[in-house]
Every structure is written in structure tokens, then in C-alpha cells.
Structure 1
Amino acid sequence: MEYILLLVGGLLAGTIGSLVGLGGGIVIVPLLIGLGAISFIDVTPQITVGTSMITVFITGLSSTLAYMKQKQVDYKSSLYLFIGSGPGSILGSWFNRYFNDDSFSLYFGFFIILVAILLMVKNKIKPIGQQNKSTVTRTIITPEGKQITYGINLALAIPIACLVGFLSGLFGIGGGSLLVPAMIILFSFPPHIAIASSMMIVFLSAILSSITHISLGNVNWLFVLFLLPGAWFGGKLGAYLNTRLSSNVLVMILRVVLIIVGIRMIF
């Protein structure tokens, strides 16, 4: 029964993570904590986060390849932001060792409630227009022929990406839930470019975070074996659905579930 849950959970995490730019860990972490509560398997916060990061890596790779095929990834901006998120993810992975079961549940509970709030306002956020302060300017042509210009202020973007990477390594999530709103609000990224590019950043950061967690012995490879097939196909499915349908209904359901799970973990 536990391994069926892991297969289904991997698919769900990959699909949701790719569709809305979350990375998938926001589903995997509560799943593994719940699995530890209902089984005799020892699932510590460190094992939870390390195993989740391997899944985030696979989801990020799968969805990034799909978004690259759709030509929605801004490679240059992604690499600039990775300058911050990469070291941050390593640092967060090391700090994770200071969590015990209670403290991890408490802080992760607050964190996923924050993610749920961000999902509530995702479609209402507007760019504040910082092109005049940008150190890197980007211009794209949409499939409809419209030209869109946006830019990154590296002095602001790299520290934000570092914080996102730190939280990603600390909690075992992809970090896209924080990065996508920042890319849209502060740097005027088109939403579909922000989601696709954030998945590339999630993938690159997850490589470093996964290596760190593996070196610390924080990975349950049997769990990984059952999570990976769903994460891989879910990543491709989410990228496909992103171009075919509105994610509003899924996001509405997800944010309600996240709030319930967050409150449950806190108490």
C-alpha cells in the first residue's frame, strides 16, 4: 500500500510541480511525513527532504526538457538567477540537519500556508515595472507576434534567488512557489516564461541540493525508486497541460489542501 501511494504521489507531484512551477516537493514532503506516521518505516525530516530533492531533480529535468521543446525557457535569465539559488540550496541542505520532527512540522506547516497564500494571489499580481533599473534586459516575441520586454536587476535578483534556493534545500521543495511571483512582480516576466524558466532554475538547484543530501546520507533510495517514474511522466504531463488548459481549478484545489495540511502539521 505504501509503495502504491509513492507511485501515485510521484505522478501528482510531478504534474502539479510542472504545471504551476512549484517543483513537486510541496506534495512529496507531506506525503513522506504522512507515510512515516502510518507505517513502521523511520522517516526523519532529513530523509524526507533528501528523498524529496531527488524527486524535485527528476521533475525539474523532465519539465525543463518539455518546456525547452516549447521554446518557453529564458536560458540567460535562468543562469543568472542560478548564481544565487545554487549556493543557497547547498546552504539550506546543510541547515536541514538541525531539524527534529516537531520543529520541521511546525516550520514546514507555516511555509506551505505561505505557498497557499501566494497561489491565491498568483493571477492577481502585476509587475511593478523595474525595466529602468534592470542590468539585464530581455525581449521576446510571443506566438501571437507581440513583443514583450522585461529585465532583471541582478543586485536584487541574486539575493532573492539565494533565499529561494536556501528554502528549497531546507524544506525539500522546488522553490518555484516563491520564485515565480518574484519574477512576475519585480522583473515583469510573462507568466508562462516565468514558470518555464523557474523549472530550469529548480532543476539546476536541485542537482546541487541532491548531491549535498546524498553526501549526508539523507536519501531513502527505495522511496526514490517508486517516486521517480511518476515524477518523470508527471513533469512532462504538467508542461503539456500548461499550454492546453487553465490551471485555475487545480490551483484552487491545491491551495485549499495546502492550508489544511499546513494547519494540521502546525498543530
Structure 2
Amino acid sequence: MLTYLVAFILFSNFFVGILLGISSIGGFLLPLIFVGFLQLPLRDSLALSFFSFAVAGLIGAYYYWKAGNMDVKLATYLSIGSIPGALIGVKLNVLIPDDTAKLLLYLFVLLSGISLLVKNKNSNNNGPNGITKSRILDSKASILIIGLISAAICSLTGAGGPILLVPLLSNLGISIRVAVGVCLLNSVVIAIPSVFGYFQYTDMDNFAILLAASILGQIIGTMIGSFLSNKVKLNHLSVSIALLTVVSSTYMIIVLFI
């Protein structure tokens, strides 16, 4: 049984790592697989997931930074806001019903994905994504607030930060590739306090073995995905992210009501 569990976790992280490396979206699948399919304890699943997010974020962010697709200033202010946000999310996890928090997140993600599809279709090339950069991003306070709220939601529900931030930043005028790079780096900042928060609640036997399998699969998958991402055209990447966002959020909403 343990061998099967280790193998499945290894493969799951490998597959999700490829998605994260290519688009920075897909991390939300891990807690869904761990809790829904493998029926692991919730907080053990979240601890494993956020460890994986941290590994994937570091590797992916490096590749995007190396390719020149990183706004360091934007990532820094988002991350400053994300640290307390992640801690708040962990604390709220024990107070707010999981289904309620997930439903709010998935509805927001669904609307963001639809909006990104529409904006991509109607792009007039006025900015990085066919729209002018929003003045919201000129305000340090606004960026800090975005980082805090998104991190709180992500750490609360177990969803990866990029699933929420990539479409949001894209709609605010940041190019898709830069948005992905920024969000991968930010996901590391969200993951670290979340890991410490959920790790204290883990009680599974063989947790260290499962964690090692998660990290190994994530490293290999993210490196492959990050390499492939540079070979994807910008508009294709934009559409892929939007479609993945819409499909995944719709699926999760349906699952909540089954």
C-alpha cells in the first residue's frame, strides 16, 4: 500500500510540475488529488502540497528570471504582502468551512479566466496583453493588498497562488510570461509560511517518505515544464492558461456540489 501511495504521489507531482513549469497554473490539483482521490488527511495534504509549490516556484521562477520574464519590483511588493496573508489563511482554515472558502475562490478564478479569454480575443496590442497597464499597479499599497488577499485565499484553500494571480495580473496589463514568472516566485513566499503552519498538524505515518516523493516528482516535472514553456508562443500560452483556468474552476465547482 505504501509503495502504491509513494508511486502515485510521485507521478501526481511530476504531472502537476509540468503544468506549473509551463503556465504556473495547476498546483490546485495536488490537494484535490491527495484529499479527494487518495483520501489523505486534509492538513497533511496541504502540507505536502505547499512543499511542492515551494519547490516548483523556485525552479520555475529561476527559469523565467533567466529568460528575462520577471518583474522583480512587482514580485517583491506582492511577496511582502503575501507573508502575513499566508499566515492569516492558515489560521482561518480552522474557522471557515472548507467548501465555502473553495467556492468563493473557484468562482473568482472562473470569472478571471473568462475575462482573460475575452481580453485576449479582443486584443488591440495597446500594451503587453493588448491592454494598457493599470494604474493600480503604480500603487505600492494596492500591490501589497493584492498580495495579502491572494495569499490568504490560497493558503486557506490549498490552491496555488498563480491560479488566482496570473489572470488578475494579466487583466491589469502585465504580459503573460512576466505574470507567470512573478507568480511562480510569489508562490514560494506563500508556500513557506503555509508549510510551517500546516506541518504542525500533520500526523501521518511515513510522512517523510511521501514528502520526498513529492519533492522528487515536482523537481523533475517543473524543470521539464519550464524548459517547454519557452517554446510556446505568447498568444498560445495566454489562451492555454485561460482555458485551463475556466475548465479547472468549473470542474471544482461541480465537484463541490456532488
TM-score, normalising length: structure 2: 0.80
Asked if 2 retains the 8 angstrom alpha-carbon contact of 1:18 and 1:238, the reply is yes
* Number of the residue aligned with 1:207: 192
- Between stretches 121-130 and 205-214, larger displacement belongs to 121-130
Query: Among 152, 156, 159, which residue is 1:173 paired with?
Result: 159
Structure 1 residue 116: Cα displacement = 4.1
Please say if residues 15 and 236 of structure 1, whose CA atoms lie closer than 8 Å, have aligned partners that are also in contact: yes
Displacement of 1:180? 1.9
What corresponds to 2:36 in structure 1? 34
Q: Are 1:184 and 2:156 an aligned pair?
A: no
- Give the equivalent residue in structure 1 for 2:126: none
Counterpart CA distance in 2 for 1:52 and 1:200 is 16
**Whole-Å Cα distance in 1 between the matches of residues 151 and 241 of structure 2?**
25
Q: 2:138 aligns with which of 118, 140, 152?
A: 152
Any idea what SS the aligned residue of 1:25 has? coil
RMSD: 2.6
SS of residue in 1 equivalent to 2:28: helix
Q: Deviation of residue 223 (structure 1)?
A: 2.6
Say if 1:168 and 1:175, in contact at 8 Å, map to a contact too: yes
Aligned counterpart, 2:251: 260
* 8 Å Cα contact 2:105-2:153 kept in structure 1: no
1:124 and 2:118 correspond: yes
| 1:224 matched residue in structure 2 | 211
Q: The residue matched to 1:98 in structure 2 has which SS?
A: coil
2:109 counterpart residue number: 115
C-alpha offsets along residues 122-173 of structure 1, whole Å, 9 cap, x if unaligned?
3433646434xx6xxxxxxxxxxxxxxxx53112221111010101211122
Q: Distance in 1 between matches of 2:187 and 2:79?
A: 9
Q: Aligned partners of 2:112, 2:15: CA distance in 1, in Å?
A: 20
For 1:143, the equivalent position in structure 2 comes to none
**How many aligned residue pairs are there?**
239
In structure 1, the residue matched to 2:47 is: 50
Q: Deviations over 1:187-209 (max 9, x none)?
A: x2222111111111111221222
> What's 2:14 paired with?
11
CA distance in 1, matches of 2:133, 2:252: 35
Which of 200, 221, 228 in structure 2 is aligned with 1:241? 228
Distance (Å, rounded) in 1 between the aligned partners of 2:24 and 2:171: 15
The code of the aligned residue for 2:16 comes to A
| Aligned-partner Cα distance in 2 for 1:85–1:47 | 22
Structure 2: how far apart are the matches of 1:202 and 1:160? Answer: 13
- Contact preservation (8 Å) 1:45, 1:104: no
Alignment correspondent of 2:85: 88
* TM-score for the superposition, normalised by structure 1: 0.78
- Which ranges of structure 2 fall in alignment gaps of 5 or more residues? 120-129
CA positional deviation for 1:263: 1.0
Asked if structure 2 preserves the Cα contact closer than 8 Å seen for 1:2 and 1:35, the reply is no
Equivalence for 1:75: 72
Report the identity percentage: 18
1:94 to partner: Cα distance: 2.0
Q: Which residue of 2 aligns with 1:62?
A: 59
Counterparts of 2:245 and 2:5, CA distance in 1: 22
